[in-house]
Chain A
């Protein structure tokens, strides 16, 4: 049993009131008392709200016993709208079938960290969600105890019913809820022992599953309001360009067109938030009655653009990044050095050196960027798919000249996020257009607009060097990363801590091509490079690739080098051992080529084995074996779906996806030129194994993606005899068709 405090600095996390018509409402802070430990990653992934302890979400118990739980976090397909309420319901001790989940709007008064990103929703909400459920349960019990005049310790609960065994009395939560609203919030509540969990750990279907399968309007693009106009934008065709002149006469005269004008999304006096990444501030807005009419007018515009800034080519960026790999590190403060790496490499019996590269990538959420805005003289209503509503509201208020409390934001379900909807410029654009035209508008990006005005995954390069002594021990390790605009290297990640002589350094290059977080930032590339490299080092050392890695973890467990390593070597080794056992690693299967990889990011550990067979010169992925340690698995059904999705996504991007720029212009603008993985290319089978260790849960939206590219590359190397060093594998290298 765990006791948890419901107060911090004398402020309660909870507020109770009665529900009109009978019942109780418990307001609570999702984040109460669970400030994340200050890992570099946590701090980076989340911009913390100033005030942690404002009462926030709601749990309503109606007098009919139906429980409504508001899900405050944006739903981008990561299934928090199901998993977060499951945690509340567990501690409340109700049947899941009596729970209704509602999506909350943006309400910073009440919620904290209403943000989806960094696979953090579950990890950070865990304690406060449990506390909310447990507190409500406790108050209901106290209310019943008072009514029956018995000691609350004699009461038990199950499935939303309170029972007093001594007298044989029982009462449903709904019947006592109104009295519970008058009970004082307890200072401390008791949490369940995880072994008594009845909802957490049970595969539970997506709460919106049926609505999705029947085509209900859930997404931003589906949102409509009476009198709403449709808006589209035209942005410069190339990064570094701005509008020179516009001739919109013919387009304005086209049927259904209301107006065409330019907007400056971010004038200089508007304070931008970190989430306002956008390469193009000045845009042409086309507003009309229907989508097709607006699209036709957009095509009829005569626009001239001019270069105002650097005009970039991917080929030049590539060459410059290669030079940077050979130059000195840019900032010694961003390096890590243990022991004497120079000496280790000088004295080595064998040095292995390899360079890996990865391209810019677009997010390509299936639902393109869009937002609804209705701005009047004293109020702005914004509705749409956004991962960072709190920041959008700040900027929208500044841009529109309204106080923040006059800007409301409602989040819709999102047709994918992957990081793209952290950057809400499209909401600000919609607001600026609505204000100018004085009407409600829905701004829609075409796929072309979406793909060519991205916050792309940066392009990366990294060189690894390993020094082996005469007995094939790893005595020195060197990693140097570069990228535009950031290096992918995490100085304190594995294999840091396992080698006496270690050097991690960086040298990155600016670019005006806008970039941002893309599913598992940096890890999405560096895991491929690191785990491919270690495979080659193991081979050079004549060791089995899993045993070689386990040997390194042994070192990090028994005698770690340095004290800032950011992973737990036992958990890391744990997933490798699990996948080794489950996949029957080491047993030869004729015609099957296997590769292994393991990676830690977003607080979870994943190890994978990929089995490839060659059909002619085409590889077919027979099976992916995947071991995961994410602590307690809240919803195994949703967790499996996330893991499978991450694997398919990771394989697809490693094999096919590539965003290139010529004269500042994106060379891919739709799915005929930008290749995404399709049905026939997905693995035939994925099997997932969870480590059961009872530790607090961590996220799953990202961690299964990073390692899979390396497991695939390592399997392909065995199948074809050729190692892969650059992504995408298909197209840049000839080994694969």
Chain B
């Protein structure tokens, strides 16, 4: 076990875990932040997407020891009042069905918009392809990203 001082959603938390523990489980089991989801554990589905210094990463494949003092942002910390333009667009477009994949989709989309404020359809496809939605909400996700992009731009 080792002690880590992690910056999670703007607050520093001391967490005592084995160095190889994926950030996903640190968040869910130790920080009790369950918005970040487990879907595959091998970097294939995107359900566990978080931001490390603003960039989308798969938390299931990221050992806690590699984070250092970089800022971790989860869906709970994406915006203070749950009003990030993407979150609002998600509600407006009624994107979720079961909803399980959506935190990962939103986090991935937020990272996309940060790097590319007005992405084309092809840009969205390329950036979002690692995020699976078994319910098949892809078209609505695309529309919601475009709406958010317009609002932010």
Contact = CB atoms under 8 A, between A and B. Distances in A.
Interface string A654-689: 000000000000000011100011111011111000
Given A222-B34, A683-B139, A671 B97 contact: no
A230 B21 CA distance: 15
B44 A77 contact: no
B139 to A, nearest CB: 6
Contact of B99 (A218, A637, A652, A672): A218
A117 to B, nearest CB: 15
Nearest to A76: B98
Most A Cβ at <10 Å: residue of B17, B98, B132, B133: B98
A205 B94 contact: yes
A701 to B, nearest CB: 10
Contact of A77 (B17, B38, B98): B98
Nearest to B47: A366
A670 B40 contact: yes
Nearest to A444: B38
Contact of A213 (B32, B96, B140): B96
A140 to B, nearest CB: 31
A290 B30 contact: yes
Contacts of A645: 97, 135-137
Contacts of B1: 255
Contact of B75 (A215, A218, A290, A646): A215
B32 to A, nearest CB: 7
Contacts of B30: 290
B96 A670 contact: no
A555 interface: no
Contacts, number: 191
Contact of B138 (A214, A648, A670): A648
Interface in A68-117: 76-79
A670 B20 CA distance: 21
A213 B17 CA distance: 29
Given A208-B96, A648-B139, A446 B134 contact: no
B56 interface: no
A638 B124 CA distance: 24
A435 B93 CA distance: 45
Contacts of A208: 96, 99
A670 B100 contact: no
Given A213-B90, A671-B40, A677-B136, A415 B76 contact: no
A611 interface: no
B73 to A, nearest CB: 11
A79 B100 contact: no
A240 to B, nearest CB: 27
Contacts of A638: 94
Contact of B91 (A209, A291, A446, A652): A209
A601 to B, nearest CB: 18
Contact of B134 (A203, A206, A210, A364): A364
Contact of A216 (B29, B35, B40, B47): B35
Given A641-B94, A649-B134, A679-B125, A292 B17 contact: yes
Nearest to B43: A672
Contacts of B95: 209, 213
Contact of A209 (B34, B96, B130, B141): B96
Contact of A679 (B42, B44, B142): B142
Contacts of B44: 670-672
Contact of A366 (B21, B78, B133): B133
A684 B98 CA distance: 22
A671 B42 contact: yes
B139 A213 contact: no
Interface string B118-153: 000100111011111111111111100000000000
Given A215-B35, A215-B36, A366 B101 contact: yes
Contacts of B142: 679
Nearest to B128: A679
Given A647-B136, A679-B141, A670 B22 contact: no
A291 B37 CA distance: 13
A647 B140 CA distance: 13
A365 B94 contact: no
A230 B41 CA distance: 17
B87 interface: yes
B131 A209 contact: no
Contacts of A255: 1, 18
A416 interface: yes
B139 A212 contact: no
Nearest to B34: A222
Nearest to A651: B136
A208 B95 CA distance: 11
Interface in A207-240: 208-210, 212-219, 221-222, 224, 230
A337 interface: no
B82 A672 contact: no
A730 B41 CA distance: 26
Nearest to A638: B94
Contact of B21 (A79, A292, A646, A679): A292
A367 interface: yes
Contacts of B32: 224
Contacts of A649: 134-136
B134 A676 contact: yes
B113 interface: no
Given A208-B99, A209-B91, A645-B97, 17 more contacts: A213-B86, A213-B102, A215-B76, A218-B99, A219-B34, A224-B34, A292-B18, A296-B18, A365-B134, A366-B39, A366-B45, A367-B39, A447-B45, A670-B42, A670-B44, A672-B42, A679-B125
Shortest beta-carbon contacts, A-B, top 5 = A215-B35, A415-B100, A77-B98, A648-B136, A215-B75
Interface of A: 76-79, 203, 205-206, 208-210, 212-219, 221-222, 224, 230, 255, 290-293, 296, 364-368, 413-418, 444, 446-447, 637-638, 641-642, 644-649, 652, 670-672, 676-680, 682-686
10 contacts: A77-B98, A208-B99, A209-B94, A290-B30, A292-B17, A366-B134, A413-B98, A414-B98, A416-B100, A447-B42
